[in-house]
A and B are shown apart, each in its own frame.
Chain A
Amino acid sequence: MDDPRRPAVPEAGLPGGGALTTGRRVVVFGDAPGGDQQVDWARAGVRDVADSRDFTDGDVPPETLRGAGATVFAALGIAVVAADDGQLRALAAASSRPVLSVSPELVHQALDPEPGYVLGYRDGVADLTGRLLAPGGPATEPAARFADTPEATWGIQAVRADVSPYSGRGVRIAVLDTGMDLAHPDFAGRTVTARSFVAGEDAQDGHGHGTHCIGTACGPRTPAGGPRYGVAPEADIFAGKVLGNGGSGTDAGILAGINWAVTSGCPVISMSLGADVMTVHPPYSAAGRRALQQGSLIVAAAGNNADRRSGDPGFVGTPANSVEILAVGAVDQALEMAYFSARSLPGRGGQVDVAGPGWEVFSAWPLPDRYRTISGTSMATPHVAGLAALWAEATGRRGLELWATLCQESERLLLASVDAGSGLGVAPGEAVPATRGAA
């Protein structure tokens, strides 16, 4: 009955570093199917049940908490219960509300720095200064943590798409780019809606960039000619051509593409494009805000204008520097920043929000090449767009809630937040509760 997602917590204050517990249990209830949210405490032999609904503003006084057999926090669907295992089993059996988990109640403490922490800090600083002052400097290359395998690219492994039960099924991803190679065999049988916003050109990709980005966001689970490279293999593809075959496009086409994606009901809009312009461009802020209001999240590349090898961190350009648009930086196989990945601008809006795999990314390319390996924040962006589709499928969340989920769930990295935002975007695992947020 204990929550299988968490390691067992030692009971009642074991010495040797175990967490302190109170002996009570914290029970998390799910929603009853019939709407009857009653819990039959008497059947489980639990008396003196205090319910937060019986107190003003739901504010349960601490003395009640200490003395009650069970304290129910109705707004949270959680109860703290003084009961043994047999009583808890009876409770689960008798209750119309499903019991999602039972965990020991922990004793929490303010986080004072322990001597061990301070000593560790001192040793760390000593080690770092020693290495920095040593002849040859800190130069050791970090070992690659991920590598392409016959099964999946390093990026697919890093974002855990290969072990996620979600596929983006039923979620529409718009990729606004140079179009798509509509004859690419890896996309045969897929739902593809293609549209060109470039005068005089159809949606067929005459550059390659768009096909590569669509491959990363939506490529198949088991492509015939190589490893898996697509994050959301069952998403519906909306390929909007807003950059011409020569690789360039204007605001008019890009905004038209966003408008099309929003009115088409795409929860995710991927834009691996930008201009090296520091100033926030008002049309993209308005477009990003209004897209979010209608349930569409715009994900854009932070930009490649850095050269960290020579100490230039660059800056997030437009449209990613609009506060209403999610900006994606690029990391390599060691989960270090790619040298070209742009850094957050000071001030509002210009920040990198999350990072994705953007170095040596294998994905689809128009025939006859079929595949190509390239690098850029352009490649990191569709990884995150694909992840957004997986989270949209897993949680039902849209817009700003989806944005928050991506960042909330991202894997924190030992990198500056100005470079990597909240860290590496990752896919939902097995244990996503089926909560559905407001649209």
Chain B
Amino acid sequence: MTHVSVTVDDGHLAALDGVVQGLRARGMQVDQVLDALGIITGSAPDGALGALTTVAGVASVDEQLVHRLPPPGAPVQ
């Protein structure tokens, strides 16, 4: 499974539910629907990422990045 962020295009911001259904139908486990941003996060089987991009209203599917701070004692943060 890969954690992904799905960015919805401007034309589907008012119809996020339909996009969510399409993503679920193609194997995505949806964790959050961020309605103010038009972004849907969750996870999907490694082979299913290409299929997610074919859902109507999807602008991009991106693997989630990990952001890491230095340890608290580091002089440069």
Contact = CB atoms under 8 A, between A and B. Distances in A.
Contacts of B67: 243, 248-251, 254, 273-275
B36 A256 contact: no
Contacts of A370: none
Interface in A339-384: 340, 374-376, 378-379
Given A283-B39, A379-B77, A259 B65 contact: no
Contacts of A291: 36-37
Interface string B20-34: 000000000001101
Given A252-B5, A275-B65, A283-B7, A207 B76 contact: no
B36 to A, nearest CB: 4
Interface string A266-281: 0000001111010001
Given A282-B7, A290-B38, A374 B65 contact: no
A255 interface: yes
A318 interface: yes
> How many residues of A sit at the interface, in one of the four size bands?
35 or more
Interface in A304-335: 304, 318
Interface in A238-269: 243, 247-252, 254-256, 258-259, 262-263
A330 to B, nearest CB: 9
Contacts of B75: 374-375
Contacts of A375: 75-77
A195 to B, nearest CB: 14
Given A259-B34, A263-B36, A376-B77, A252 B64 contact: yes
B66 interface: yes
Interface in B42-68: 42, 59-60, 62, 64-68
Contacts of A272: 77
Contact of A208 (B7, B34, B65, B72): B72
A208 to B, nearest CB: 5
Contacts of B36: 259, 262-263, 290-291, 294
A288 to B, nearest CB: 9
A286 B39 contact: yes
Contact of B3 (A250, A254, A256, A294): A250
A398 interface: no
A282 B65 contact: no
A318 B39 CA distance: 17
Contact of A259 (B35, B42, B59, B72): B35
B65 A251 contact: yes
B69 interface: yes
A97 interface: no
Contacts of A281: 62, 65
A277 B63 CA distance: 13
Contacts of A96: none
Contacts of A255: 5, 32, 34, 37, 39, 41
A185 to B, nearest CB: 20
Contacts of A286: 7, 37-39, 59
A178 interface: yes
Contacts of A212: 77
B51 to A, nearest CB: 18
A272 B70 CA distance: 12
Contacts of B37: 255, 258-259, 262, 283, 286-287, 290-291
A254 B74 CA distance: 23
A304 B76 contact: yes
Contacts of B39: 255, 259, 283, 286-287
B59 A248 contact: no
20 contacts: A178-B69, A207-B72, A209-B77, A243-B67, A248-B69, A251-B62, A252-B32, A255-B39, A256-B34, A259-B36, A259-B37, A262-B37, A273-B67, A274-B67, A275-B65, A277-B65, A283-B39, A286-B7, A290-B36, A374-B75
Given A255-B39, A263-B36, A281-B62, 8 more contacts: A249-B67, A251-B64, A251-B67, A256-B34, A282-B59, A283-B7, A374-B75, A376-B77
